[in-house]
Structure 1
Amino acid sequence: MLIARTLVAAALAALAVPAVAHDGMAVRDAYVRVSGPSAKSGAAFMVIENHRAIDDRLIAARSDAAERLEIHTHTQDDAGVMRMVEIEDGILIPAGEEHALSRGGDHLMFLGLTAPLDHGDAVSVTLIFEQSGELEVEIPVDLERQDMPAQRPVHSH
């Protein structure tokens, strides 16, 4: 059992290391989380890099893993209650910079999962950019990950 878990962890680490790139846009450190086997929703987190000389915007995403895949963020209302809301105009990724989709911040929200997602599975997601078009990514399901990426956009060096 311990050997199997170690092998799964090693496979997930190998999947998470390479960046996926297309037309100047790249994705790194992507993973999906769900609350359990009967979950009806889940979330994807990643860092999106814009290696282009022009700004671009993530305007949509889709996946066969869910009935809908929306771009979400967290906002705080006047009573101090945090709520998830859809970002209808997408996320700007300035030229030469990157934007983190992270727990507690911007993320992709899977609504109406079409099948259970288990630790070690992979989910196909199509990211749709205003300028760059579509980018297909395979994102590992990682239910054990404890780190919390930056909750704000981070800048490339």
Structure 2
Amino acid sequence: MKFAAYLVAASALFMSHAALAHDYHAGDIHIVHPWSRATPPAAQVGGGFLKLENKGEAADRLVSASSPVAGRVEIHSMEVTDGVMRMRPLADGLEIKPGATVELAPGGYHLMLMELKQPLKEGERVPLTLTFEKAGSIDVELAVEAARPSSNHGAHGGHEAQPQDHGHKH
């Protein structure tokens, strides 16, 4: 009887993990688990994160993104120079070399959902269109995960909680 209960619990855990994981393909680009964090009700910005794998033999480039929940979406890099975290939009997009994987994650490359029209709520899926130079456009969904603690201890610095800390003017 205990084994049966274990089996049920294990299968429920596997099914919930499988439901969270989602990926897409655009040409030679494999898009793995797009996600975001929940934002406070008054937040003006949110982050978008995902992994891009180029399965082809030619470089491609993520050139833009858009979402109906944001006034605009920008592709950003984040770097630490002399102990100061700086974020900047990538005007030419983000290159994905052949055979390479580029991760958009807190503390590095990421998408900035600017001028949010509504809060990003845990458990929801946010529509997002990614446009690649060669692979074209694809509609994906950002899985909204729990908000991170309000402290600024993480490497990303918390776009969602304190957008003014990153030099964005709204």
- How far apart, CA to CA, are the structure 1 residues paired with 2:129 and 2:18? 21
Q: Indicate conservation of the 8 Å contact 1:67/1:112, yes or no.
A: yes
Aligned residue for 2:58? 54
Aligned residue for 1:152? none
Aligned residue for 2:84? 81
SS of alignment partner, residue 92 of structure 2: coil
SS of alignment partner, residue 102 of structure 2: strand
Shift in alpha-carbon separation, 1:145–1:38, aligned structure 2, 3 A: closer
Deviations 1:77-129 (A, max 9, x none): 45x31121111111110112210001000000001001111101111111111
- How far apart, CA to CA, are the structure 1 residues paired with 2:139 and 2:79? 29
* Superposition pairs of residues 95-134 of structure 1, within 5 angstroms: 95-134=98-137
Aligned-residue RMSD, C-alpha: 2.2
Deviations 1:31-75 (A, max 9, x none): 112442221100011101111121101111111110010001113
Q: Indicate conservation of the 8 Å contact 1:51/1:95, yes or no.
A: yes
- How far apart, CA to CA, are the structure 2 residues paired with 1:38 and 1:135? 29
Q: Which amino acid aligns with 1:63?
A: S
Q: Indicate conservation of the 8 Å contact 1:34/1:43, yes or no.
A: no
Aligned residue for 2:74? 70
Please give the TM-score of this superposition, normalised by the length of structure 1.
0.78
How many equivalent residue pairs? 137
1:29 positional shift: 2.3
Aligned residue for 1:93? 96
Shift in alpha-carbon separation, 1:107–1:48, aligned structure 2, 3 A: same
Q: Indicate conservation of the 8 Å contact 1:50/1:96, yes or no.
A: yes
Aligned residue for 1:154? none
Q: Which amino acid aligns with 2:34?
A: A
- List structure 1 segments (4+ residues) > 6 angstroms apart after TM superposition: none
Gaps of at least 5 residues in structure 1 are: 1-6, 149-157
- How far apart, CA to CA, are the structure 2 residues paired with 1:76 and 1:132? 31
1:29 corresponds, among 19, 22, 33, to: 33
